[in-house]
């Protein structure tokens, strides 16, 4: 099982929508994919997926259910572990409760090829716990200067906590040319100030069909496969597939 944490420096860059659609694109290839709502304060993965599971992470925190027992079917053939927004027991979840989640992740490995953590934006300690746990990290940013500044701050903190982190950058709502240009600038800043390397995963173009799908609580990859955003996310999923292939080769 390859674990991937998806995060961003600030909210509003389309991170959760990207996480859900990437999961669906991976599932299209035949990979068993689970997406986990790791935003324990303002969970909204269930909204992005258009599902209302009977059980969620608050039941795991209360030790009424296990992670495997709250797995829910979601569009695109993926599985989802959803949270609950503004629930005190989740908002207050400390290291002990996080360890409860983490101790049960091994049970998912039998039925999951990719486990995607949709993390909260920002640098809260619980976010960093999920980032430290993951094999790969995807940092989502938009072309907005404040988003790029916050993405740098996020990368800096990740590298401070985990010097060997593999960070892959995605620019959302950017053309291929814009994304490459922005990444070159970002890469230069990271190297100049942190002496660390980040990788470029790619970009996802702005797409009215994707915006419409989000408003309708649907996945653009599933509902409009030919949309520009769907094509871009599918191309990124092909690269992510290679991570698992490389991981399996190292393990053998």
Domains, the chain, in order of start with CATH, read: 5-9+11-246 (3.40.50.300)
Helix axes 145-161, 176-194, angle to 10 degrees: 40
User: CA–CA separation, 21 vs 15, rounded Å?
Assistant: 10
Are 118 and 82 a contacting pair, CB within 8 Å? no
User: CA–CA separation, 101 vs 78, rounded Å?
Assistant: 20
Per-residue pLDDT at 97: 76
User: CA–CA separation, 49 vs 45, rounded Å?
Assistant: 6
Per-residue pLDDT at 126: 82
pTM metric for this prediction: 0.95
Q: How far is CA 155 from CA 7, 93, 103, in A?
A: 10, 24, 26
Secondary structure of the chain: what % helix, strand, coil (to 5)? 50, 15, 30
Residue 91's pLDDT band, with cuts at 50, 70 and 90, is low
Residue 73 has pLDDT above 80, yes or no: yes
pLDDT tens for residues 194-244? 999 999 999 999 999 999 999 999 999 999 999 999 999 999 999 999 998
Per-residue pLDDT at 209: 94
């Amino acid at each position: 099982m390859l674990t991937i944490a998806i995060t961003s420096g600030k909210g509003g860059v389309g991170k959760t929508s990207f996480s859900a659609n990437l999961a669906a694109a991976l599932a299209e290839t035949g990979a068993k994919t689970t997406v986990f709502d790791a935003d324990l304060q303002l969970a909204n993965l269930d909204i992005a997926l258009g599902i209302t599971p009977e059980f969620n992470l608050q039941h795991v925190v209360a030790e009424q259910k296990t992670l495997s027992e709250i797995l829910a079917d979601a569009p695109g053939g993926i599985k989802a572990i959803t949270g609950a927004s503004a629930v005190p027991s989740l908002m207050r979840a400390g290291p002990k409760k996080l360890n409860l989640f983490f101790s049960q992740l091994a049970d998912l490995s039998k039925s999951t090829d990719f486990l995607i953590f949709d993390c909260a934006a920002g640098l809260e300690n619980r976010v960093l716990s999920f980032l430290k746990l993951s094999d790969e990290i995807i940092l989502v940013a938009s072309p907005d200067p404040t988003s790029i500044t916050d993405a740098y701050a996020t990368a800096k903190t990740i590298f401070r906590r985990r010097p060997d982190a593999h960070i892959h950058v995605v620019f959302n709502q950017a053309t291929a040319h814009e994304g490459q240009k922005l990444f070159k600038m970002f890469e230069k800043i990271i190297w100049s100030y942190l002496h660390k390397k980040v990788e470029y995963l790619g970009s996802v173009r702005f797409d009215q069909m994707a915006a419409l799908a989000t408003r309708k609580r649907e996945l653009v990859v599933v509902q409009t496969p030919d949309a520009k955003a769907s094509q871009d996310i599918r191309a990124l999923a092909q690269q992510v597939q290679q991570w698992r292939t490389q991981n399996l080769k190292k393990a053998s």
